[in-house]
Amino acid sequence: MTKFTEDHEWIDGDGDVVTVGITDYAQNALGDVVFVELPDVGGTFSKGDEVAVVESVKAASEVYAPLDGEIVEINDALEGEPGLVNSSPTEGGWFFRIKLDNTSDLDGLMDKAAYDAHVAGLD
């Protein structure tokens, strides 16, 4: 089941390793993505830490760790093709996989209905 943060990240997966990316709303707001700085595999992060940076033509934006955990894989395809974040934000444009310290942390995140309502409230 996919979960969401207020910072427009999606978190997908059922076990203790989940995939993280940014939502369609986020990629649309950022505009054309030209560079993504991803964390090192093996790096550990706490919820709210700056874990990645997305650079659009316009500006650089930080991506924060949605939960506590260790990075186990990053999407190397973004190095050569950062535009995947725009063209396929929830599939080919994923950022990293993180092994959660506590899978129960997922319960505190929004589900799709709650996130959609959150986004609707922003416009």
60 binds other proteins per the rule CB under 8 A = yes
Residue 119 interacting with other proteins (CB under 8 A) = no
Full DSSP string of 48-105: TSEEEEEEESS-EEEEE-SSSEEEEEE-THHHH-TTHHHH-TTTTT--EEEEES-GGG
CA distance 65 to 114: 20
The verdict on 72 binding other proteins (CB under 8 A) reads no
What backbone phi and psi angles, to 5 degrees, belong to 34? Answer: -115, -10
The verdict on 112 binding other proteins (CB under 8 A) reads no
Q: Which two tokens stand for residue 53?
A: 């940076």
- The single-letter DSSP state of residue 110 is B
79 is an interface residue for other proteins by CB under 8 A:
yes
Binding mask 15-54 for other proteins (x = CB under 8 A): ----------------xx-xx-x---------------x-
Q: Which of 39, 66, 82, 93 binds other proteins (CB under 8 A)?
A: 82
Q: Which of 6, 46, 58, 116 binds other proteins (CB under 8 A)?
A: 58
| Count of residues near other proteins by CB under 8 A | 14
d(CA 103, CA 118): 23
Per CB under 8 A, residues contacting other proteins are: 31-32, 34-35, 37, 53, 55-60, 79, 82
